[in-house]
Structure formats: structure tokens, C-alpha cells
Structure 1
């Protein structure tokens, strides 16, 4: 009997709890429902993750999402980091650019 070795294609997606999602990040790749066996699209590439996006996912009972490796680092809150800390950091950064006379491309 000859055994066949089947090389499984590893997925570029990782599961992430939605409470660990960082807001204000523009997606390079779509986000999918991690708990569904079907590829249910939750947020398309090019969209920005907002607090309202996260709240809507929670209302739908979604707790985990599949995030592409290209977005994983930017989207993941560090342990101990909260949405409010990232929001205040972005605000301080924007204020510093405004004082320096720079115009943000974020708007």
C-alpha cells in the first residue's frame, strides 16, 4: 500500500476575536466570519474598521473574524491596549500635525 502525502495549502487568514480589532484601520483584504464554514464576507477590502462596524458585528452574534495576514498586525490591539488608547493616540498625532502645519490625508 502506497501512502499519498497531500500538502495542505495554508491559509493566509487567522482568526481574531472582534474585541481585539483596532478601529481606524483601512483593510487591505476582506474580513470573513471565522465561525462559519462558508466564506461569509463581513467587511470588504478598502473599508475602514469603525466602532460602529464592531458593534454591528456583535449585534449579529459574531465574536470572531478571519483576518488576512497583511492586515493582522495593523488590526490587532496589543495586550492591555484599548480602543480608547488608540483613539487618543490618533487624536494627539493629528493635533501635532496640525500644529506643525501639516495636513492629514486621513480626512
Structure 2
């Protein structure tokens, strides 16, 4: 039984890149927020500025929400992956201890 409860040697590595993706999305989110801030200040409130905002504000808001959603989901994958690795490592250690007592 103990031989079956082994953590795949690369399991933790399989989830490692998700943390990188999450960091990249965080940087992208900061850039988008800065672009949105500048956009709000730049368009103006004259008729041309209002037309500009009607065309641009909603899509950039949607982009911001989409990036935030993806980042949140990647965070869940990272968290779940880390919990899986920890669970498997603990199970592996416990099974080794049980085998030693026999």
C-alpha cells in the first residue's frame, strides 16, 4: 500500500507556472488600471470626449473585469495545487511511518 502513495516528483512543478501567470496578470491589471485612470482624465467632457468615453470606457471596464476573473481563477488553481501537493506529501510520510511500525 505504501508504494502506491507517492507524490509525483514533478507535481509541484506542474503548478509552479501558475504562480508566474498570476504574477503576470497582476502586472497586467496594474497597467490596465493606470491606462483607465489616464483615459478618464484624457477624454474630456466636450462632445468629442463624451463620444470617446462612450466607445472606450465600457470595453476597458470589461477588460479589467476579465483579467481580474482570470487572475482569481489562477489563484484558485495555485492554491488547490499546493494543497494537493501537501496532502500527497503528508500521506506519503504517514504511510512510511505506518510501514516502519510493522
Provide TM-score, normalisation by structure 1: 0.26
Higher helix share: 2
TM-score by length of 2: 0.27
